[in-house]
Amino acid sequence: MKTPENPHAGSTTAPARAPRGTLSRGAIVDLATKIMDKDGVEAVTVRRLAKELGVRPMALYTYFRSKDDILGAVYSDLLSRLELPDSPEAGLAGVREVVHAYFHLLIEHSALIRLNIANDISNAGDLKVSEAIYALLLQAGLERKDAVGVAAALMRFTLGSASLYPARHNWDADADYWSRVKESLRTLPAERYPALRSFGDDLPEFTQEQVFAYGVDAILDRFEG
Amino acid sequence: MKTPENPHAGSTTAPARAPRGTLSRGAIVDLATKIMDKDGVEAVTVRRLAKELGVRPMALYTYFRSKDDILGAVYSDLLSRLELPDSPEAGLAGVREVVHAYFHLLIEHSALIRLNIANDISNAGDLKVSEAIYALLLQAGLERKDAVGVAAALMRFTLGSASLYPARHNWDADADYWSRVKESLRTLPAERYPALRSFGDDLPEFTQEQVFAYGVDAILDRFEG
DNA sequence: ACCTGAACACCGTTCAAGT
DNA sequence: ACCTGAACACCGTTCAAGT
């Protein structure tokens, strides 16, 4: 009775073979992005992608050579969506804009950081960001040497800021969290941590956003007006 | 013939049970560090650690609750070895020293970055670095608000610099690599990448070390005598 | 071209058991 | 207390095979 012609004969019918059009690079990248944002990069597995796409694991290998290849595509895709001001007259204000946009992209998809670190400069998305920053810096009148130094410093500062963001952003609007931090600073041994202890009583508050702006200002200020 | 009393009867003798003293937290941490430096964090597996220590995988769980616990111990151990100048009179020069020492620790054990990102502030090693920086900044006369902003900016810039280091340090002393970068910049489409292209002809050279120093200067200079 | 089944060589970890 | 065996529920990927 259990023949291919009579698939309903048993309750243990084999799962239907997925039709031809189910998969595409875009569908895979979109789902990988969604999983990454929700549960982190480590949750992005070939097997889970396949399952949620209604397909067997090996099907993905028609579209990507490896899992790393998929993650690379996720990174490029997100970077390509980054909207950059293309008026090179914006000057240093424009640089701030680009760098903030990049920062926000990184923290909205916080797992991007780990992908970025493995990447090389040849990535088209990175190139776009670099081009925008260099064009604006040169337009603003910086010497080539300073342009390179400033651009490199901004990239590094932005990456570092984004990498600490997930562990720090809880403090941002939570007065409770903030006072617990002060409390824990006050419990530090006085001989070994005199400076940190003093911040237990008087701790200037910064949101992560403000820390980021502070650093960008520090790097750019000396070229201002 | 193959009885427990006669273990040499066959050539497939069971491997000897490891004696009691073979393992310790220190031995595990040291080996994990060695593997991490040689082959990266992803090469640090419980099974490999066990094999190279001459022991079965489960033996490690007497000393650590989980693999993450082992990696956390590696991070703490390395940070605790960091030598910090403990003269708070050193001022901003002392800050530079601390930050450079931290940078070098991170790039010498380049996989540390990925560990750091997951960590929290309560780590004793991080505390030591923070204390040193804050003490020096306050001693140098910075307002508390600036001390927090500068310390946060330096930490973030240092982390970002260290995270890009592995992908960039090849350029440092390799004129060949450098000219290949310039060559590839020259092949970029002129309309989309005018600024980057211009660097194909005239690219100010920076080692990673110099980029790092440039950024630290940018952040600290405005507080300099 | 696109999707699948089975298998390989790995993971971290639990649980119960030896010494 | 310290080390082990077996098993569980996972990985990414190769290779040969279906449609």
- SS3 letters for chain A? CCCCCCCCCCCCCCCCCCCHHHCCHHHHHHHHHHHHHHHCHHHCCHHHHHHHCCCCHHHHHHCCCCHHHHHHHHHHHHHHCCCCCCCHHHHHHHHHHHHHHHHHHHHHCCCHHHHHHHCCCCCHHHHHHHHHHHHHHHHCCCCHHHHHHHHHHHHHHHHHHHHHHHHHHHHCCCHHHHHHHHHHHHCCCCCCCHHHHHHHHCCCCCCHHHHHHHHHHHHHHHHCC
pLDDT of residue B4: 36
pLDDT of residue A116: 66
Nearest alpha carbon to residue B118 among A4, A113, A72, A77: A113
pLDDT at B1 > cutoff 90 = no
Q: In this predicted model, what pLDDT tens digit does every residue of B21-34 receive, in sequence order?
A: 899 999 999 999 99
Lowest-confidence pick of A99-103, A122-126, B58-62, B201-205: A122-126
pLDDT at B220 > cutoff 50 = yes
Of the candidates A144, A148, A157, the beta carbon closest to that of B153 is on A157
pLDDT at A99 > cutoff 80 = yes
pLDDT at A1 > cutoff 60 = no
User: Across residues A132-145, what is the average pLDDT?
Assistant: 96
Residue B204 tokens read as 């100010």
Given CATH 3.40.440.10, say whether it is the number of domain A84-223: no
pLDDT of residue B159: 94
Lowest-confidence pick of A1-15, A30-44, A195-209: A1-15
Q: Kindly report the average pLDDT of chain B as a whole number.
A: 89
Of the candidates B119, B144, B218, the beta carbon closest to that of A204 is on B144
* Whether the domain at A1-80 and the domain at A84-223 fall into the same CATH topology: no
pLDDT of residue A73: 95
Break chain B into its structural domains and give their ranges.
Answer: 1-80, 84-223
Pick the CATH number of B1-80 from 2.30.42.10, 1.10.3720.10, 1.10.287.110, 1.10.10.60: 1.10.10.60
Shortest alpha-carbon distance between residue B68 and chain A (Å):
14
- Neighbouring C-beta atoms of residue A208, cutoff 10 Å: 22
Q: Which amino acid is at A67?
A: K
pLDDT of residue B99: 96
pLDDT at A158 > cutoff 60 = yes
Find chain A residues with C-beta within 8 A of B191's C-beta. Answer: none
Which of A126-140, B12-26, B171-185 has the largest mean confidence?
Answer: A126-140
Find chain B residues with C-beta within 8 A of A198's C-beta. Answer: 138
Find chain B residues with C-beta within 8 A of A221's C-beta. Answer: 222
pLDDT class of A122 with cuts at 50, 70, 90: low
The three-state DSSP-derived secondary structure of chain B is CCCCCCCCCCCCCCCCCCCHHHCCHHHHHHHHHHHHHHHCHHHCCHHHHHHHCCCCHHHHHHCCCCHHHHHHHHHHHHHHCCCCCCCHHHHHHHHHHHHHHHHHHHHHCCCHHHHHHHCCCCCHHHHHHHHHHHHHHHHCCCCHHHHHHHHHHHHHHHHHHHHHHHHHHHHCCCHHHHHHHHHHHHCCCCCCCHHHHHHHHCCCCCCHHHHHHHHHHHHHHHHCC
User: What residues have CB less than 8 Å from B202, skipping those under 6 apart?
Assistant: A144
pLDDT class of B118 with cuts at 50, 70, 90: low
pLDDT at B6 > cutoff 80 = no
User: Across residues A76-104, what is the average pLDDT?
Assistant: 90
By the CB < 8 Å criterion, does B7 face chain A?
Answer: no
pLDDT class of B120 with cuts at 50, 70, 90: low
Q: In this predicted model, what pLDDT tens digit does every residue of B24-74 receive, in sequence order?
A: 999 999 999 999 999 999 999 999 999 999 999 999 999 999 999 999 999
pLDDT of residue A85: 78
Alpha-carbon gap, residue B14 to B178, rounded angstroms: 56
Q: Among all protein residues, pick the one whose CA is nearest to the C1' atom of C10.
A: B47
Contact between chains at B156 and A204 (C-beta distance less than 8 A)? no
pLDDT at A77 > cutoff 60 = yes
pLDDT of residue A220: 97
User: Across residues A111-118, what is the average pLDDT?
Assistant: 75
pLDDT class of A118 with cuts at 50, 70, 90: low
Which of A61-70, A163-172, A180-189 has the largest mean confidence?
Answer: A61-70
pLDDT of residue B16: 83
Alpha-carbon gap, residue A159 to A166, rounded angstroms: 12
pLDDT class of B137 with cuts at 50, 70, 90: very high
Torsion of CA A211, A213, A215, A219, to 10 degrees: 180
Lowest-confidence pick of A191-195, B41-45, B118-122: B118-122
Contact between chains at A222 and B221 (C-beta distance less than 8 A)? yes
